[in-house]
Every structure is written in structure tokens, then in C-alpha cells.
């Protein structure tokens, strides 16, 4: 899995206390304790992270848990 980082998005999520490495981890570590809301797009088969922040609102947590618990892996 490859990620696209440039001056437009590198370090951008520090304001949300999320490192670039931590934002990448959500694509490979599903057992991670910290739940993040990550907005991304796919460009030329690479993931470009637009925004990452804590998943802290009740509605977002509910949607995540619903999707995660009903998805068959």
C-alpha cells in the first residue's frame, strides 16, 4: 500500500494530534485502540490522506461500530 504525501498534506493533521504515520496505520492495523476518522482519496493507486482526527462524536462512533460489526472480513 502506497501513500501520497506532499507539501499540501504532510503534517497537516498535527493540529488534530495525529501524525502522518498514525493516519497510515488505520489501513493496516484494524485492532488499533485509537479510533480515527480519516478522509482520503485514491490517486494513481496511492492513498492521499486529506484529514485525520479522533473519532469522538457519538454519531461517528455509532456508524463506525455498526459498519465494523456487520462487515465480514
pLDDT of residue 9: 87
Q: Is the pLDDT of residue 49 over 70?
A: yes
Residue 38 lies in a domain: yes
Classify residue 7: in a domain, yes or no: no
Under a CB-based contact definition with an 8 Å cutoff, are residues 35 and 55 in contact?
yes
The tens digit of pLDDT for each residue in 14-41 reads 999 999 999 999 888 777 778 888 999 9
Instruction: Give the pLDDT confidence score for residue 73 in this predicted structure.
Output: 47
Distance CA 29, CA 46 (A): 18
- In this predicted model, what pLDDT tens digit does every residue of 52-67 receive, in sequence order? 998 776 767 777 777 7
Which residue range forms the structural domain that includes residue 38?
12-70
21: part of which helix (H) or strand (E)? Answer: helix 20-25
φ, ψ of residue 61 to 5 degrees: the values are -65, -45
The pLDDT score that the predictor gives to residue 56 is 72
Domain count, the chain: 1
Q: Is residue 28 part of a domain?
A: yes
Amino acid at each position: 500500500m502506497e501513500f501520497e504525501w506532499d507539501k499540501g498534506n504532510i503534517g497537516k493533521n498535527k493540529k488534530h494530534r495525529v501524525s502522518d504515520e498514525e493516519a497510515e496505520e488505520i489501513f493496516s492495523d484494524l485492532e488499533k485502540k485509537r479510533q480515527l476518522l480519516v478522509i482520503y482519496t485514491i490517486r494513481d493507486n496511492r492513498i492521499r490522506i486529506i484529514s485525520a482526527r479522533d473519532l469522538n462524536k457519538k454519531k461517528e462512533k455509532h456508524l463506525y461500530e455498526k459498519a465494523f460489526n456487520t462487515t465480514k472480513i
